[in-house]
Amino acid sequence: MFYREAGDFKTSYQSDQATFTLRLDKILFWGLMAIATFIVPFFVTEYWEKSVFLPFFIYSIAALGLNILTGYCGQVSLGTGGFMAVGAYASFKLMTGIPNLDMFLVIMIAGLVTALVGVLFGLPSLRIKGFYLAVATLASQFFLVWLFNKWEWSYNYSPTGQINAPTRDFLGIDVTGPSTAPWATYLFCLGLLFIFAWITRNLVRGHIGRSWMAIRDMDIAAEIIGVNPLIAKLSAFAVSSFFIGVAGALYFSVWLGAAEPTEAFAIDKSFDVLFMIIIGGLGSILGSMIGAAFIILLPIFFKNVLVGYCGIPTDIAEFTQIIFIGALIIFFLIKEPHGIVAYWRTLKEKLRLWPFPY
């Protein structure tokens, strides 16, 4: 009745190909963004910043990155944790090596370094596919973590191999270090997530994104119609690793402020991000964010409900939480193999026809 194209005339190609073709969609999206940018920062506390928003934003960026590679280009990767480590250690070296560098530049350069490493580890994808590629990227996961454990230069010869983020700023406002204001890091990460989601959206509907999807759907056919698999696959690896490197840099410098390779960037990080995109929805930007929220925020929600409100002992609450989340994952995978985002799509379709479905 209210959510439909009727009366919403498009007079140019530009408006016809806009991201949000429905007026209501557009209003809702920009309204949400306005609330997130102009209202939430006034109310965000350190708990919400450090335990809810930052992890959600950062894992969303990582999931977006992996979704480009796996969801859009069809190359399965289990190296996410390793690439996050590259981003984190690159940002650490930049922060300590060039103390006056602006944090935005640090994050971007860390992303570029990770993109380079990602291309390097993407080379085998030209020869191997599917599960075999997953195993090859698994090697990068273990190799990179081993490297940052062994290579003393990468952690500035600290006796424990632990890296700590010093205080650095973005345009004069501290965004790393122990005494940052919650609104500053919140807006910094929100801004980056917005930029990366916008980039992804415009990449995947353009020339490059189409070549990725062609490779994903059938690589031989794509090659015959003129898609260069070398460029398509390596560009997917580069862009994906860039995003994941940025996520790793933010994870270490802005969110946690300290990291050690074996714990922070272990294989379970790779699996977590892979689960995010599978549960959220492969080949979907919104899906990446829903998946990140599902894997990161649901356990915290359950913990607060079970321990905070119900007063259940912490260990029993923890096991209950694991059972709940496991059951939910199985439920969603059976009921909706295309991810939670498919529910959103169905809902939108239904809304368009409501109240007169045919």
Partner 1 sequence: MKKFTLAAVAAALVGSMVPASADHTIPLLSYRTGPYAPNGIPYADGVTDYINMINARDGGVGGVPINLIECETGYNTERGVECYESTKGQGALVYFPLSTGITYQLIPKATADDIPIHSMGYGRTSAADGNTFSHVFNFPGTYWDAASIIIKHMMDMEGGSLEGKKVALVYHNSAYGKEPIRTLEELSKKHGYELLLLPVDHPGQEQKSTWLQVRKEKPDFVTMWGWGVMNQVAISEAASIRFPMDRFIGVWWSASENDVLPAGDKSDGYKAIAMNRPGTDFGAYRDIQKHVIDAGNAAGAGDQVGTILYSRGMLNAAYMVEAIRTAQKIHGAADITPGMMRDGLENLKIDQARWTEMGFDNFTSTIDVTCENHGGPGLGAIQQWDASSKTWSLITDFVGADRDVVDALIEADASAYAAENNISGHCK
Residues near partner 1, by CB under 8 A: 41-47, 50-51, 55, 96, 149, 159-162, 164, 166, 173, 177-179, 181-184, 256-260, 262-264, 266, 300, 303-304, 307, 313-315, 317-319
Task: At 153, list the tokens.
Answer: 């230069």
Task: At 285, list the tokens.
Answer: 């930007």
Q: Which burial class, exposed, middle or buried, applies to 53 when counting CB atoms under 10 A from its CB (0-12, 13-18, 19+)?
A: buried
Residue number, 85 or 133, with CB nearest to partner 1:
85
What is the smallest separation between the CB atom of 333 and partner 1, expressed in angstroms?
24
Residue number, 17 or 156, with CB nearest to partner 1:
156
What is the smallest separation between the CB atom of 17 and partner 1, expressed in angstroms?
36
Question: What is the full DSSP assignment across 11-71?
Answer: -SHHHHT-S--SHHHHHHHHHHHHIIIIIHHHH--HHHIIIIIHHHHHHHHHHHHHIIIII
Residue number, 251 or 332, with CB nearest to partner 1:
251
Residue number, 45 or 202, with CB nearest to partner 1:
45
Residue number, 180 or 235, with CB nearest to partner 1:
180
20 within 8 A of 348, measured Cβ to Cβ: no
Residue number, 177 or 229, with CB nearest to partner 1:
177
C-alpha distance from residue 322 to each of 147, 200, 327 (Å) = 32, 32, 8
What is the smallest separation between the CB atom of 166 and partner 1, expressed in angstroms?
7
Task: At 124, list the tokens.
Answer: 């085998």
Nearest CA among 52, 58, 92 for reference residue 261: 92
What is the smallest separation between the CB atom of 44 and partner 1, expressed in angstroms?
7
What is the smallest separation between the CB atom of 4 and partner 1, expressed in angstroms?
39
What is the smallest separation between the CB atom of 96 and partner 1, expressed in angstroms?
8
Residue number, 138 or 266, with CB nearest to partner 1:
266
C-alpha distance from residue 190 to each of 10, 43, 193 (Å) = 31, 15, 5
Residue number, 237 or 265, with CB nearest to partner 1:
265
The strand pairing partners of 163, in sequence order, are 259
141 within 8 A of 268, measured Cβ to Cβ: no
What is the smallest separation between the CB atom of 102 and partner 1, expressed in angstroms?
16
Residue number, 41 or 124, with CB nearest to partner 1:
41
Q: Which residue has the tokens 């860039």?
A: 242
What is the smallest separation between the CB atom of 320 and partner 1, expressed in angstroms?
11
What is the smallest separation between the CB atom of 172 and partner 1, expressed in angstroms?
9
Q: Which residue has the tokens 């992890």?
A: 55
Q: Is 209 helix (H, G, I), strand (E, B) or coil?
A: helix
Q: Which residue has the tokens 């560009």?
A: 235
Cβ density class 67-82: b for 16+ within 10 Å, e for less: bbbbbbbbbbbbbbbb
Nearest CA among 297, 338, 278 for reference residue 67: 278
Q: Apex CA 198: angle with CA 193 and CA 202, to 5°?
A: 150
